[in-house]
Amino acid sequence: MIRYSFRRLALLVVTLWLLTVFLFALNYFFPGDPLTNMSGVRASNPEAYQQQVVARNFDQSIVMQYVSFLGHFTRGDWGQSLTTQRDVFADLMPLLGATLELSLLAMILAMVLGAPLGLYAAGQQRGAMDRVVMGISLSAYSIPVFWLAQLFILLFAVKLGWTPISGQLNPLFNIDVRTGAILIDILLSDTPYKKAAIADAINHLWLPVIVLAIMPATMLLRVMRNSMLEVLQQNYIRAARARGLSESRILWLHALPNAMQPVVRQLGLMFSILMSNIIVLEVIFNWPGMGSWLVKSIYERDYPVMQGGLFTIAALILLVNVLVELFHAWRYPQVRKELYAEH
């Protein structure tokens, strides 16, 4: 397991390094001056620009430029925004918090909804309810997320008025942004209206979380159902029955853990789908997170911000994938055997 973990983590480091090479190359691909794209300092400000030329080795070969880029990058100097002139890295942290809050809540909701429903459908195999559940899940899986968000806003926010149309919190609650995750920020703050603020935050949160959770939940449901049906046909389940183990013991201790295996393997994929949906959803719900920031930077051709957003989202996805894989290999040892056996 240790050897496997090292291999996987080394691969992650290599991947992240490749990502920085890609980012560096992007500065040349983007229209305009590479140094401006990288640092956010325009040539119209000759003094600062000259400073950057020296600091980022732009008077030297491209290899040295990359080395300097990597140095700045790892130190957290990701340049400044072309539109607001603010430091990208400092801006990014609270946005990341807001996005993580949304995605984690959605992921949890997806698991709470998807896994039991999948088990239920497996129990009703080929029965009427199974078909209904699977039909709904396939439809929900096919709804474009931005359309679903609009429909929900129309229904819940406009027609029923249960929830605000967009945003993260009523600006009247003057909450300092620290982590970006609104619930944590409220708890950390010293506002006298904590309870009201939390209620308001939850009121803003639930609609985007539900919209986000639907797609991963349906994926989870399908994987869970199919793998459960598969596992119940396996020899070791029959052997356990032959040994006279109780049905509930077979189900909870043998069938379920094994059925969870493909589910765990899918978690990484689910997270990356969630992230791509979050980009669009943050725009619709006007959520102050990574996604809307990234899209805005593309509109404004704000290349330093774009790089920062791109790297963060990609790194997050890669990290989650590696964590899922490590967990998978730790929990399901026979996977490791397959990995070693591969040539």
Partner 1 sequence: MSAILDIRNLSIELETDNGLVRVLDRFNLQLSEGEIHTLVGESGSGKSLLAKAILGFINPRWKITADRLWWRHYDLLSLSPAQRRLVTGRDMAMIFQDPGSHLDPNEKVGAQLQESIPSGALKGIYLKRRADRKTRAERLLHRVGIKDTDDVMERYPHELSEGLAQKISIAMAIAHNPKLLIADEPTTAMEPSTRAQIYRLLAKLSASQGMSILMVTQDLTAVVPESQRMSMIYCGQLMETGPTQQLMAEPYHPYTDAMLSMSLFNQDLPPKTRLPTLKGAIPTLQHMPIGCRLGPRCPYARRACIHQPPLEKRQQQQFACHYPLRDDPDHE
Partner 2 sequence: MQNTKIYFQQREPSPLRQIALHMNANPFAVAAAYFLAFAMLMMLLSPLITPFNPDEQFANAILQPPSWHESGEIRFLFGTDDLGRDLLSRIIAGSVYSLGYPLIAVFFAAVIGISIGAWAGMSRGVQSSTLNHLLDVILSIPSLLLALVIIAILGPSLLNVMFAITLVLIPQFIHSVHNAIYDERHKEYVTASRLNGVNRWYMLTRVIFPNITSAVVMQTTFALSTAILDIAALGFLGLGVQAPAPEWGTMLARSLDQVYVSPWMMVLPGLALFLTILSINILGDSVRAAIAERVRNA
Q: Which does 234 bind (CB under 5 to 8 A by kind): partner 2, partner 1, none?
A: partner 1
Cβ closest to partner 1, residue 116 vs residue 257: 257
Q: Which does 333 bind (CB under 5 to 8 A by kind): partner 2, partner 1, none?
A: partner 1
Which residues ranging from 258 to 287 are in contact with partner 1 (CB under 8 A)? 258, 261
238 part of the interface to partner 1, by CB under 8 A: yes
Q: How many chain residues interact with partner 1 (CB under 8 A)?
A: 22
List the one residue from 236, 327, 330, 340 that touches partner 1 (CB under 8 A): 236
Which residues ranging from 149 to 188 are in contact with partner 2 (CB under 8 A)? 150-151, 153-154, 158
321 part of the interface to partner 2, by CB under 8 A: yes
Return the HEC string of the chain: CHHHHHHHHHHHHHHHHHHHHHHHHHHHHCCCCHHHHHHCCCCCCHHHHHHHHHHCCCCCCHHHHHHHHHHHHHCCCCCECCCCCCEHHHHHHHHHHHHHHHHHHHHHHHHHHHHHHHHHHHHCCCCHHHHHHHHHHHHHHHCCHHHHHHHHHHHHHHHCCCCCCCCCCCCCCCCCCCCCCHHHHHHHCCCCCHHHHHHHHHHHHHHHHHHHHHHHHHHHHHHHHHHHHHHHCCHHHHHHHHCCCCHHHHHHHHHHHHHHHHHHHHHHHHHHHHHHHHHHHHHHHCCCCHHHHHHHHHHHCCHHHHHHHHHHHHHHHHHHHHHHHHHHHHHCCHHHHHHHHCC
Q: Which stretch binds partner 1 (CB under 8 A): 76-84, 129-137, 139-147, 234-242?
A: 234-242
Q: Which does 44 bind (CB under 5 to 8 A by kind): partner 2, partner 1, none?
A: none
List the one residue from 102, 122, 251, 283 that touches partner 2 (CB under 8 A): 283
136 part of the interface to partner 2, by CB under 8 A: no
Residues at the site binding partner 2, with contacts judged by CB under 8 A: 11, 15, 18, 26, 29-31, 135, 138-139, 141-144, 146-147, 150-151, 153-154, 158, 268-269, 272-273, 275-276, 279-280, 283-284, 294-295, 298-299, 301, 303, 306, 310, 313-314, 317-318, 321, 342-343
Residues at the site binding partner 1, with contacts judged by CB under 8 A: 234-236, 238-245, 249, 253-254, 257-258, 261, 331-334, 337
